[in-house]
Structure 1
Amino acid sequence: MKLFRVYQFLILLSSITASTEVPSYSKAGCEDTCGNVTIPYPFGIGAKCSINKWYVVDCNSSTPYLPALNHLEVLGVSLKNYTVTVYAPMIYDCQNQVQNRSQIISGMDLGRSPFFFSKKHNKFVVEGCATAFISDSIGSTVAGCSTSCRNDTISESNNCFGINCCETTIPHYVKSYKMNFTGLGRQGGEGACGYAFLVDKNSYVEGSFSGKYIATDNGSVPLSLLWTLTDNEFNSLSCCYEAYGFEDELDLGNVTLPYQGCYLPSQYEGNPYLFSGCYVKEECARCRDSGGYCEYLQDNGDDGLKMNCSNYHPYNFESKSSQLGVILGVSISMGLLSLATIIYALYKVIKKTKARRQRKKFFKRNGGLLLKQQEEADPSLVDKAILFTSRELEKATDYFNENRILGRGGQGTVYKGMLVDGRIVAVKKSKVVDESQLEQFINEVVILSQVNHRNVVKLLGCCLETEVPLLVSEFISNGTLYDRIHNGIDEFPISLNMRLQIATEVAGALAYLHSATSIPIYHRDIKTTNILLDDKYRAKVSDFGTSRFVSIDQTHLTTLVKGTFGYLDPEYFQSSQFTEKSDVYSFGVVLVELLTGEKPISLTRFGENRSLATHFMLAMEEGRVMSIFDAMVIREGTRDELMSVANVAMRCLFLNGKNRPTMKEVAVELEAIRMSHAPSVVQPNTGQVIYGEEFATLTYGDSTSTFLSFSNNSGQ
């Protein structure tokens, strides 16, 4: 298709003649004017005439409006400046005269639209007796202006130098802003008013809105918005044959945003975003008809550019042979230049086509079709997941810089990133995929898209058009529970109260997954490296790569054995039948880690004691469990509290899964223990506790030897 367009380009380039046709600005079959305002494509009057919903224009009573932007009135669209000028509300405040200040408009937010407030075509103006400043969506001040009031001076729109009026520019493009007034009426007296607004420079300087204030009767001022197109939208365009695409970057302050558009040379008029929308200007066509070459030069007059028609034969040669030599030389040079241009254009076309095909190939290979099938089967499962582009995530992670790595695991590598809107995210880059990993990755997307719990990591979206699939989730700032317990990265150890809170929150999250979701979910890989802590040390369960949905009438799930040594349910390891009680066992190991501060598999212990679960159960049997508890836990907890928690852990670790409690029961018991615990209580007694009688009836069997084959693992 692209090669066909290049072929059309060559034909049209060779047949350029004078044309008096009226330029077409809209798509075929669409109106291109509303009243006296021209509406060019990619904007359009009606949904079928624009490139997307944001560019739809409603024409009511010969007045154009943008329904996607709260029906702002459109004053004009500039294809040259890539702006749309609209009437926007002016912000004002009057001392002791506003009856209901909550109704005062204090700012504007363009949200997820493709529009930005143009720094090049707008300026910030303050009129009246006030000081005002403008701040962006995160509260940072981007511009400010202060006036000096003199009652005998009236500022004019072209004389705004600080007395009753001041103006400044905004330093970069913004999506939203808020204005604030200070010092209102300090010099202007009782009832003084202040006005602040972003305004289109040309409308203000030209004096179209003369007088002290440039607002209309309904309090609106002209404002220019920069409009942008996505990669997919730009690639779908057919720029007219003499126009060509360009790419630039928008300054957003702390980040930049790629920006593309179609450019129209000065010799032409019309709409470069339509294949048949460009025509040679009439004055330039007359120059060409006379054998000249038209070019537009900068002029100091009002027109800006002035057409110059130059002669094609500036030299007078004495002989025909020398003239022929010059003609041949120029022709060959032009031919080579044209050939080089065509080759370069073909290269760009082929490169874009190849990249687009590769993205489609990756999308299919990474489970895009599987995700669509899941969506068709049950749209509620994935309707909250956002598909990110590869370009967005490359920029967010600084092209997956090694310095951005948060951690590596069995399922892939996690990077820290920042999106264009300023959100900090975690980007999970899966390992090289095969057929088995495809279902696993899409499964994680589907599961997390329907989970909404304060103690489960929130999925924001995914990207399937890269070589390996990517998951985007909320960023959890305090790392993993494993690091906090075993790697000593904190300046202070985790208190018993915090450990009880973390255990209770994880238990509550698992109880939610098992029983409160529309379809029960088994996590299948509960461990301290998959439990994250936020800035307030709240637990967040993560990494659902091996999780599975389970029908309500199912009691177990038969699969290949998956999990992490030290946390794996012995019953599941032997039977390959995973039940909700298998998650309970893994949680029991986590609970023992919190109590003892030891790793699930340790090379410093010997024999069957290398397994923390077995080590703990033997200590409980022998009545010496207090001796293996962490020193911080013993100092802060009473014997009864610690034994209560130990009993919960012991019940979770029963070798017979039927005798284990449900996660809901565990969560209730831990919450009761946590509520009864007084953090200020210090228990200095570190002696052994004889608890043998309580375990006289418990049988453990010899299946604990299952753990012995994992002695070469460190517990992760």
Structure 2
Amino acid sequence: MSDGNPCSGSGCCQTSIPKGLKSLNYSLSSLNHYTNVSDFNPYWPLSRKPKYGKDAYRTDIVIEWVVKNETCEQAKANRSAYACGANANCTYPESGQGYRCLCNEGFEGNPYLQEGCLDIDECKDPESYPCHGRCKNTIGNYKCRCLLGMYGDGKIGCQGLGIITLITSILLVIICVLLYMMCKKRKKDRNFRENGGMVLKHQRKLGEGGFGSVYRGVLADDVQVAVKKFKGVDKAQMNEEFQKEMGVVSQVNHKNVVKLLGLCLETKVPLLVYEFISNGTLFKHIHDKTSQLLASWSNRLRIASEIALALNYLHSLADPPIIHGDVKSVNILLDNNHTAKVADFGASVLISSDQTIIATKIQGTLGYLDPEYLMTGFLTARSDVFSFGVVLVELLTGEKQNSSSSSGEKRNLIQHFISALETNNLFRILDLQAADEGEMDEIEAVAELAKGCLNSMGVNRPTMKEVSDELSKLKDLHQKSWAQQNSDETDYLLSRYQMLCLSHLSFNHLSFSHSASATCQRE
């Protein structure tokens, strides 16, 4: 046989396999009944030459085949006719002529189909693919890592570390992690300080309530705003609270109610943007003794009247009417002009005229809550009246609900106030001094009004309109009295001055008449 023609026809045969062939039958025969078989026959051992007849040995047949009589380079050059699929490679048969296909290492299947060679999961066949640690399959291969405390190639074998070496390694890992965390924290702290974080930490958060936190912000045009960020147990509850407050504040437009400027829906948590009220809460000015805003009765009376105006607007003039639900001194803000602004509508509800709300849960702040609402769950406009009565008592006494007496015992502010009023000891518990008898009368009138607001039965309390009208009347009388007093004092000072001038002119008539006259005219 020659290299160019491995099968010469002597002792072998060669034929092509036509396309679409499903089976092949062949038969062997011999002219001399297998008596003259050449020694080069690779399939029949010389000692076991086949016999003719039924006792003849079976023969072994080897079919050598190729896809096409081309080299791999020639086959790959024509991609449309190239027979090997993905994850398969071109290979040569033993004869050296033509090419065949074989799945790449780590793959198995039919290499002649486009996706015929599939990845072998070596981890599922540990007998063929040994692993002495943790096995992880990869595309075309697998990884084997030694277990903790061991080292080496997991595919070959792992060796154990000494106990001291193991402990040392674990400690080194822990120390490295701690050092990394410390460096990261220091970097964050440094960035926080460099970006004014300490100032923001103490000044940017304005307050926090049951429904969210309020932060101070600045818009692009340097307008300061208060941003309410809602919070909730879940997303649905948070969205419900946001939509409820949005529905309430969008109905409100009053000079003594904090204005809604806008909202943000593109953030993860919904935000409401309110006007920023710069002068703090009424609670702060009542209980911070360094504040001088409430030193005069006129300011206290004016602020009380402005709060009542806002609540009356919510109950009577808003469409539909609104119950605030959480009236307290913390929710009353004061602007640069010390004008009162009612804020925080997280507990507010919209109602139809004269309708009572049956609450599914009690909301508000203890100490300000209507006791009737607490017992029955019925929220009405008179519930706001009770809460406003508590604010009036705070304004009058300067004390907090459930404050301590001089002996250190806890006492109920409302009961203490009503007891003092009924025993004619009101002026002993006040937080201010009346300037004159007229102010004393006004303070007593406001105290009686507060007592009416604090009636345990809602039906016996005045409406917010009645409260507002009474306070407005007292405020107007106070302003007229103040104006009259100023006018009388001015007249008195002018008359005294004229008398002094006349006396001066008479005494120095001869020497200083011209000079004195000129002085009086200038002054």
Structure 2 length-normalised TM? 0.51
Give, in angstroms, the shift of residue 605 of structure 1: 6.9
Matching residue of 1:404: 204
Correspondence 1:41-120 to 2 at 5 A: none
Matched, 1:592 2:393: yes
Q: Deviations over 1:236-260 (max 9, x none)?
A: xxxxxxxxxxxxxxxxxxxxxxxxx
Q: Deviations over 1:39-61 (max 9, x none)?
A: xxxxxxxxxxxxxxxxxxxxxxx
Matching residue of 2:361: 560
Matching residue of 1:687: none
CA contact (8 A) 1:432 1:468 kept: no
Give, in angstroms, the shift of residue 653 of structure 1: 0.6
Matching residue of 1:423: 223
Give, in angstroms, the shift of residue 468 of structure 1: 2.7
Matching residue of 1:628: 429
Matching residue of 1:264: none
Matched, 1:518 2:319: yes
Q: 1:656 aligns with which of 436, 442, 457?
A: 457
Q: 1:589 and 1:446, CA in 2 relative to 1: closer, same or farther beyond 3 A?
A: same
- Rounded Cα–Cα distance in structure 1 between residues aligned with 2:197 and 2:224: 13
Counterpart code for 1:549: L
Q: 1:513 and 1:488, CA in 2 relative to 1: closer, same or farther beyond 3 A?
A: same
Give, in angstroms, the shift of residue 565 of structure 1: 1.2
- Rounded Cα–Cα distance in structure 1 between residues aligned with 2:420 and 2:344: 32
Give, in angstroms, the shift of residue 474 of structure 1: 0.4
- Rounded Cα–Cα distance in structure 2 between residues aligned with 1:619 and 1:607: 18
Matching residue of 1:414: 214
- Rounded Cα–Cα distance in structure 2 between residues aligned with 1:679 and 1:408: 40
Matching residue of 1:638: 439
Q: 1:535 aligns with which of 316, 331, 336?
A: 336
Q: 2:384 aligns with which of 583, 597, 603?
A: 583
- Rounded Cα–Cα distance in structure 2 between residues aligned with 1:449 and 1:400: 33
CA contact (8 A) 2:211 2:232 kept: no
- Rounded Cα–Cα distance in structure 2 between residues aligned with 1:450 and 1:611: 36
CA contact (8 A) 1:591 1:649 kept: yes
Give, in angstroms, the shift of residue 550 of structure 1: 0.9
State the structure with bigger RCO (CA 8 A, min sep 6), 1 or 2. 1
Matching residue of 2:420: 619
Matching residue of 1:548: 349
Correspondence 1:318-467 to 2 at 5 A: 401-402=200-201, 403-434=203-234, 435-467=236-268
Q: Deviations over 1:456-498 (max 9, x none)?
A: 0000112233333221000111110000110235255442111
- Rounded Cα–Cα distance in structure 2 between residues aligned with 1:653 and 1:646: 11
Q: 1:501 and 1:553, CA in 2 relative to 1: closer, same or farther beyond 3 A?
A: closer
Q: Deviations over 1:666-688 (max 9, x none)?
A: 00000111111245989xxxxxx
Give, in angstroms, the shift of residue 552 of structure 1: 2.3
Q: Partner of 2:254: helix, strand, or coil?
A: coil
CA contact (8 A) 1:496 1:637 kept: no
CA contact (8 A) 2:295 2:432 kept: no
CA contact (8 A) 1:483 1:489 kept: no
- Rounded Cα–Cα distance in structure 2 between residues aligned with 1:552 and 1:406: 35
Matching residue of 1:58: none
Matched, 1:498 2:277: no
- Count matched residues: 286
Q: Partner of 1:461: helix, strand, or coil?
A: strand
- Rounded Cα–Cα distance in structure 1 between residues aligned with 2:407 and 2:424: 20
Q: Partner of 2:286: helix, strand, or coil?
A: helix
Matched, 1:570 2:371: yes
Q: Deviations over 1:271-321 (max 9, x none)?
A: xxxxxxxxxxxxxxxxxxxxxxxxxxxxxxxxxxxxxxxxxxxxxxxxxxx
Counterpart code for 1:405: K
Q: Partner of 1:572: helix, strand, or coil?
A: helix
Give, in angstroms, the shift of residue 637 of structure 1: 5.8
Q: 1:583 and 1:606, CA in 2 relative to 1: closer, same or farther beyond 3 A?
A: farther
User: Does 664-673 or 490-499 show the bigger shift?
Assistant: 490-499
Counterpart code for 1:523: H
Q: 1:604 and 1:411, CA in 2 relative to 1: closer, same or farther beyond 3 A?
A: farther
Q: 2:270 aligns with which of 462, 469, 472?
A: 469
- Rounded Cα–Cα distance in structure 1 between residues aligned with 2:285 and 2:394: 11
Q: 1:492 and 1:589, CA in 2 relative to 1: closer, same or farther beyond 3 A?
A: closer
CA contact (8 A) 1:495 1:636 kept: no
- Rounded Cα–Cα distance in structure 2 between residues aligned with 1:510 and 1:503: 11
Matching residue of 1:485: 286
CA contact (8 A) 1:400 1:415 kept: no
Q: Partner of 1:450: helix, strand, or coil?
A: coil
* Greater helix fraction, Structure 1 or Structure 2: 2
Matching residue of 2:25: none
- Rounded Cα–Cα distance in structure 2 between residues aligned with 1:535 and 1:526: 22
Give, in angstroms, the shift of residue 450 of structure 1: 1.6
Give, in angstroms, the shift of residue 569 of structure 1: 0.7
Q: Deviations over 1:531-579 (max 9, x none)?
A: 0001111100000001001122523443311111110111111111111
- Rounded Cα–Cα distance in structure 2 between residues aligned with 1:589 and 1:401: 34
Counterpart code for 2:237: S
Give, in angstroms, the shift of residue 400 of structure 1: 11
- Rounded Cα–Cα distance in structure 1 between residues aligned with 2:407 and 2:321: 39
Counterpart code for 1:638: E
Counterpart code for 1:583: D
- Rounded Cα–Cα distance in structure 2 between residues aligned with 1:611 and 1:461: 40
Give, in angstroms, the shift of residue 408 of structure 1: 2.7
Q: 1:537 and 1:614, CA in 2 relative to 1: closer, same or farther beyond 3 A?
A: same
Q: 1:608 and 1:518, CA in 2 relative to 1: closer, same or farther beyond 3 A?
A: farther
Give, in angstroms, the shift of residue 636 of structure 1: 8.5
- Rounded Cα–Cα distance in structure 2 between residues aligned with 1:605 and 1:573: 30
Matching residue of 1:47: none
Q: Partner of 1:536: helix, strand, or coil?
A: coil
Q: Deviations over 1:673-711 (max 9, x none)?
A: 1111245989xxxxxxxxxxxxxxxxxxxxxxxxxxxxx
Q: 1:621 and 1:433, CA in 2 relative to 1: closer, same or farther beyond 3 A?
A: same
Counterpart code for 2:211: Q
State the Cα RMSD in Å. 2.7
Q: Partner of 1:416: helix, strand, or coil?
A: strand
* Greater strand fraction, Structure 1 or Structure 2: 1
Which structure would you say has the larger Rg?
Answer: 2
Counterpart code for 1:418: V
Matching residue of 2:472: 671
Q: 1:562 and 1:492, CA in 2 relative to 1: closer, same or farther beyond 3 A?
A: closer
- Rounded Cα–Cα distance in structure 2 between residues aligned with 1:399 and 1:548: 38
Counterpart code for 2:426: V
Structure 1 length-normalised TM? 0.38
Q: Deviations over 1:141-197 (max 9, x none)?
A: xxxxxxxxxxxxxxxxxxxxxxxxxxxxxxxxxxxxxxxxxxxxxxxxxxxxxxxxx
- Rounded Cα–Cα distance in structure 2 between residues aligned with 1:604 and 1:634: 27
- Rounded Cα–Cα distance in structure 1 between residues aligned with 2:246 and 2:216: 19
CA contact (8 A) 2:302 2:475 kept: yes
Q: Partner of 1:436: helix, strand, or coil?
A: helix
- Rounded Cα–Cα distance in structure 1 between residues aligned with 2:324 and 2:434: 28
- Rounded Cα–Cα distance in structure 1 between residues aligned with 2:244 and 2:285: 29
